[in-house]
């Protein structure tokens, strides 16, 4: 078995988006959600940190998902603490899910409350106007996404509550997107010296495949020099997504390039979104690099599933 599979290949133009591309002054752009619009355009909903230190979200659109990004001239989705006080310290790390039943996109994001991060939901048709549902999981909770359709009649939300000092991935269910219950542990952080010991979280939304929900997740390794954020793979049952079918033992993507090693928070690769190309297999993974810029890596869904067959 190849111990170092190249499941994701970095784009030669990386980082593809930086603060210097922004039409207004910002400190950093990172951790973007991604989706393909109906006309095939790639939309990234980027986390943008301005020079107050707080974050908002800003849309960037590109016809080929690599070049010629058109960035909204103003913040697309700003914190609204007057109506949603839980957004007082900003909005961060979105994940986008297109929901056919609603014919709209669900954006699940971190609302930075006075008591730490919570999970909030907004719905949009066009990424210009948004309907907020407010906080759906109270702090401390983040790294969340909605699954694109109901499972056994219920909506499903993957999220990452913190039970300090450890943090695991959970799933919860709802009939109406507002009231959540049926909370189940989906995947635990390992213990001891593992790369994903103590703290894990969902990265982009899971990919629905015939074999199950394929999840890229991050593991946070604490070292004497700080944390290292790396990515691993796991597979969950299509009809009972709390059931983990496979989990890779090794991480498959971690910080290596200078733009991933150095920045506001070095040693971080943090994807929140991807697009799947028309062949149904090629995947464009968009990730925050060192909490500073946005990078792109390309892979194959079937190669990820094959790797899990061997390493899982
Ligand atoms: C996580 C999140 C991410 C961030 C990462 C590294 O806890 O807050 O937004 O990219 O830490 O700083």
DSSP for 28-83?
Answer: EEEEEEEEE-TTS-EEEEEEEE-TTS-EEEEEEEESSSSS--EE-SS-SB---TTT
Among 162-171, 179-188, 280-289, which is the least confidently predicted range? 162-171
Tell me if 293 sits within 8 A of 30, measured CB to CB.
yes
Q: How far is the CA of 69 from the centre of ligand 1 (A)?
A: 24
Write down the domain spans for the chain.
11-311
Judge whether residue 5 has pLDDT over 80.
no
Q: How far is the CA of 202 from the centre of ligand 1 (A)?
A: 12
Residues 6+ apart with CB under 8 A from 119: 108, 109, 110, 111, 135, 136, 137, 141, 142, 144, 157, 159
State which ligand 1 atom lies nearest to the alpha carbon of 270: 10
Task: Tell me if 143 CB under 6 Å of ligand 1.
Answer: no
> Which residue shows structure tokens 């949009």?
124
Question: In whole angstroms, how far apart are CA 46 and each of 94, 133, 198, 224?
Answer: 8, 20, 28, 31
Q: How far is the CA of 210 from the centre of ligand 1 (A)?
A: 31
Give the pLDDT score at 164.
84
pTM of the model: 0.97
Q: How far is the CA of 212 from the centre of ligand 1 (A)?
A: 27
Task: Tell me if 151 CB under 6 Å of ligand 1.
Answer: no
**CATH 2.115.10.20 given to domain 11-311:** yes
Give the pLDDT band (50/70/90) at residue 1.
very low
Q: What is the pLDDT of residues 137-155, one digit of tens each?
A: 999 999 999 999 999 999 9
């Amino acid at each position: 078995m190849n111990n170092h599979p190249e499941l994701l290949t970095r784009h030669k133009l990386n980082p593809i988006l930086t603060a210097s591309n922004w039409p207004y002054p910002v400190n950093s752009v990172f951790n973007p959600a991604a989706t393909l619009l109906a006309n095939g355009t790639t939309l990234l909903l980027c986390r943008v940190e301005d020079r107050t230190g707080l974050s908002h979200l800003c849309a960037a659109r590109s016809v080929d998902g690599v070049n010629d990004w058109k960035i909204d001239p103003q913040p697309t989705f700003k914190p609204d603490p007057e109506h949603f006080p839980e957004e007082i310290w900003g909005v961060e790390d979105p994940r986008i899910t297109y929901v056919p039943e609603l014919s709209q996109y669900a954006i699940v994001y971190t609302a930075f409350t006075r008591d730490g991060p919570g999970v909030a939901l907004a719905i949009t048709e066009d990424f210009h106007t948004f309907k907020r549902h407010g906080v759906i999981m109270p702090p401390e909770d983040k790294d969340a996404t909605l699954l694109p359709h109901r499972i056994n009649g219920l909506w499903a939300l993957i999220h990452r509550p913190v039970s300090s000092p450890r943090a695991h991935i959970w799933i919860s269910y709802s009939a109406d997107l507002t009231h959540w219950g049926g909370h189940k542990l989906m995947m635990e952080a390992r213990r001891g010296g593992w790369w994903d010991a103590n703290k894990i979280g969902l990265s982009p939304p899971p990919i629905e495949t015939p074999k199950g929900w394929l999840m890229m997740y991050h593991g946070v390794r604490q070292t004497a020099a700080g944390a290292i954020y790396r990515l691993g793979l796991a597979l969950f049952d299509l009809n009972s997504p709390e059931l983990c079918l496979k989990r890779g033992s090794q991480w498959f993507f971690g910080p290596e390039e200078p733009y991933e090693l150095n920045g506001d928070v070095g040693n971080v690769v943090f994807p929140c979104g991807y697009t799947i190309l028309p062949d149904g297999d090629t995947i464009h993974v968009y990730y925050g690099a060192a909490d500073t810029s946005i990078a792109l890596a390309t892979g194959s869904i079937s190669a990820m599933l094959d790797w899990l067959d061997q390493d899982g």
